[in-house]
Amino acid sequence: MMPLNEAQWLWETVMRKTGDDDIMTQQVIDKLEAYGVVDTCVEEVRTMVNDSWADLEGHLRDSPAEVFLRALGWYLVKL
Protein backbone atom coordinates (compact mmCIF):
# COMPACT_ATOMS: atom_id res chain seq x y z
CA MET A 1 0.00 0.00 0.00
CA MET A 2 1.21 3.47 -0.85
CA PRO A 3 2.10 5.60 2.20
CA LEU A 4 -0.33 8.46 2.79
CA ASN A 5 2.26 11.17 2.18
CA GLU A 6 3.15 9.66 -1.22
CA ALA A 7 -0.50 9.19 -2.12
CA GLN A 8 -1.13 12.84 -1.19
CA TRP A 9 1.86 13.98 -3.29
CA LEU A 10 0.61 11.89 -6.20
CA TRP A 11 -2.92 13.27 -5.97
CA GLU A 12 -1.79 16.89 -5.67
CA THR A 13 0.69 16.49 -8.51
CA VAL A 14 -1.84 14.97 -10.87
CA MET A 15 -4.50 17.53 -9.99
CA ARG A 16 -2.27 20.57 -10.61
CA LYS A 17 -0.27 19.18 -13.53
CA THR A 18 -0.45 21.21 -16.72
CA GLY A 19 0.55 18.28 -18.92
CA ASP A 20 3.79 19.70 -20.26
CA ASP A 21 6.28 18.46 -17.64
CA ASP A 22 7.77 15.19 -18.87
CA ILE A 23 9.94 14.72 -15.78
CA MET A 24 6.96 15.08 -13.42
CA THR A 25 4.89 12.78 -15.61
CA GLN A 26 7.59 10.12 -15.39
CA GLN A 27 7.80 10.52 -11.61
CA VAL A 28 4.04 9.93 -11.33
CA ILE A 29 4.26 6.87 -13.59
CA ASP A 30 7.20 5.51 -11.57
CA LYS A 31 5.25 5.87 -8.31
CA LEU A 32 2.18 4.18 -9.76
CA GLU A 33 4.28 1.31 -11.08
CA ALA A 34 6.32 0.98 -7.88
CA TYR A 35 3.19 0.37 -5.82
CA GLY A 36 1.60 -1.97 -8.34
CA VAL A 37 -1.21 0.40 -9.24
CA VAL A 38 -0.72 -0.07 -12.98
CA ASP A 39 -0.67 -3.87 -12.68
CA THR A 40 -3.79 -3.80 -10.52
CA CYS A 41 -5.61 -1.63 -13.04
CA VAL A 42 -4.59 -3.89 -15.94
CA GLU A 43 -5.80 -6.96 -14.07
CA GLU A 44 -9.09 -5.24 -13.25
CA VAL A 45 -9.61 -4.32 -16.91
CA ARG A 46 -8.81 -7.90 -17.95
CA THR A 47 -11.48 -9.14 -15.58
CA MET A 48 -13.97 -6.58 -16.87
CA VAL A 49 -13.34 -7.58 -20.50
CA ASN A 50 -13.63 -11.28 -19.71
CA ASP A 51 -16.80 -10.81 -17.65
CA SER A 52 -18.35 -8.62 -20.33
CA TRP A 53 -17.47 -11.15 -22.98
CA ALA A 54 -19.11 -13.92 -20.96
CA ASP A 55 -22.31 -11.84 -20.82
CA LEU A 56 -22.18 -11.00 -24.52
CA GLU A 57 -21.01 -14.30 -25.97
CA GLY A 58 -24.41 -16.02 -25.91
CA HIS A 59 -25.96 -13.21 -27.92
CA LEU A 60 -23.55 -13.39 -30.86
CA ARG A 61 -23.48 -15.92 -33.64
CA ASP A 62 -20.20 -17.49 -34.74
CA SER A 63 -18.70 -15.19 -37.33
CA PRO A 64 -15.49 -13.37 -38.21
CA ALA A 65 -16.99 -10.24 -36.62
CA GLU A 66 -17.32 -12.08 -33.30
CA VAL A 67 -13.67 -13.14 -33.48
CA PHE A 68 -12.59 -9.59 -34.30
CA LEU A 69 -14.66 -8.17 -31.46
CA ARG A 70 -13.09 -10.53 -28.95
CA ALA A 71 -9.61 -9.85 -30.35
CA LEU A 72 -10.25 -6.11 -30.01
CA GLY A 73 -11.05 -6.54 -26.32
CA TRP A 74 -7.85 -8.50 -25.75
CA TYR A 75 -5.83 -5.99 -27.76
CA LEU A 76 -7.13 -3.04 -25.76
CA VAL A 77 -6.22 -4.76 -22.50
CA LYS A 78 -2.66 -5.30 -23.73
CA LEU A 79 -2.13 -1.64 -24.70
* 16-57 confidence digits (pLDDT tens): 876 778 888 888 889 889 999 889 998 998 899 889 888 888
Nearest CA-CA partner of 13 in 43, 36, 21: 21
Question: Over 70: is that where the pLDDT of 74 sits?
Answer: yes
Query: For residue 79, what pLDDT band results from cuts at 50, 70 and 90?
Result: low
Radius of gyration from C-alpha coordinates of the chain: 18
> Looking at per-residue confidence, does 17 or 60 come out higher?
60
70 contact partners, CB below 8 Å, separation of at least 6: 53
Q: From CA 12, how far away is CA 6, in angstroms rounded?
A: 10
Query: For residue 2, what pLDDT band results from cuts at 50, 70 and 90?
Result: confident
SS3 62: coil
